[in-house]
Amino acid sequence: MNTTAPNPGSANAQGAKVQDTRGLAGQTIGETAICEVNQTQLIYRGFEIADLAEHATFDAVAFLLLVGHKPTAQELDDFKREQSQLRAIPTSVRDAVIRICKESPHAHPMSILRTGVSLLSHLDPECEGLAPDAELRKSKRLLAQIPTVIGVCQHALEGKDPVAPDPSLDHAANLLWCITGKRPNEIAARIMDVSLVLYAEHDFNASTFSARVIASTEADMHSAVCGAIGALKGSLHGGANEMAMEMLKDIDRDCAGGAMNVQAWMKRAFAEKRKLMGFGHRVYKNGDHRAPILRSWGLKLAKNLGPSAQKWFDIGDEVQAIMLRDKAIHPNVDFPCGMTYFIMGIPVPQYTPIFVASRITGWCAHIMEQHQNNRIIRPLASYSGPAIQCW
């Protein structure tokens, strides 16, 4: 029998529209105590994202996600101290990352970071352990070491020696230091911190689901994280913030000198059916509530930096207004992220690795949750191939 799956938006024999469930759209495939995503809220272990972005730090949010409760002042101090002591990476890993960057300068930093995490696994004495205490220790090490790997990569791509992690800095500020080699000022460190809070967790998104599928086979944490990095690399997931900024740069270039304006550029993009990155979301149909939080911080920095920075938000606001008016599509958090990171002087190819420096907390929390109450994830498929034939 040929059991053909319904086409998207097709009708059944009674004329009722059949829901398009490709990509598991609208399907609930498991439970989690880590995060809730709905139309109006994003909640990490009972704490709403706007509250966390305003009142918490990323270090505190990382503790919340990994350990499972809001840290006391002493617990947070101990956690930050422990993290500062875990940031160094083995010399062999550092040298391997530098060599890859020198010999393959066009390799994507996400691919290099994926390799860096894989190399770290071989030198982690608890790599194969699935016990909860071992997994928590591995999570902490990955959280601390990933910014160092990112920094080594960026400096190598620039032909420079890497800087050592700074134990006096919090996670976000140290990440900026490792990438740029410059001590961030207060507003830059705060903006990075807020962006990491916003990106830390998002229930069963593509990369987290990938990590849980891998973890469900009883594979080790590093393997699951490598798979998650591979999933996040894609332009429809983590890479969207890079593509959003590249789109704005295209608009600025094409509109330079007055030969074209943003309205005309967007009209042409619509006619060419160009995919405009940084807009729309599978869950947030009425707008991603993380986007205005990051936009407000980015705009504050742009105003301080002057017209050359402000222009990106002017272009972005015009693009956003046209998308809402003509397509009724809202921006997601990747749209203001691209502009904000750009005016901070962060190289565009490092946007998604920065995402990893945040989302590693959510991934590890989900990997631990999966291992603690495991059943291998093995969904069914609806066959749409030919009927049985004789060979």
Side by side, the strands of the sheet bearing 47-48 are: 35-37, 42-44, 47-48
Contacts of residue 53, defined as CB under 8 A and 6 or more positions apart, other chains included, come to: 194, 197, 198, 290, 293
Query: Known catalytic residue: 222?
Result: no
**Residue 287: how many other CB atoms lie within 10 Å:** 16
Out of 124, 203, 288, 334, pick the active-site residue: 334
Active-site residue identified among 155, 202, 281, 371: 281
Is 237 in the active site?
A: yes
Give me the residue label for tokens 């740069």: 249
Instruction: Of 27, 24, 33, give the one whose Cα is nearest residue 373.
Output: 33
Give the integer Cα–Cα distance in Å for 162 and 153: 8
Pairing of strands 42-44, 47-48: antiparallel
Vertex 67: Cα angle to 62 and 71 (nearest 5): 70
Which is catalytic among the residues 166, 237, 252, 254?
A: 237
334 is catalytic: yes
Q: How far apart are CA 111 and CA 117, in angstroms?
A: 10
Q: What is the DSSP string of 124-155?
A: -TTTT--SHHHHHHHHHHHHHHHHHHHHHHHH
CA distance 376 to 222: 18
Place of tokens 């009927």: 387
What's the rounded Cα separation, in Å, for the pair 125 and 65? Answer: 24
Residues with catalytic function: 237, 281, 334
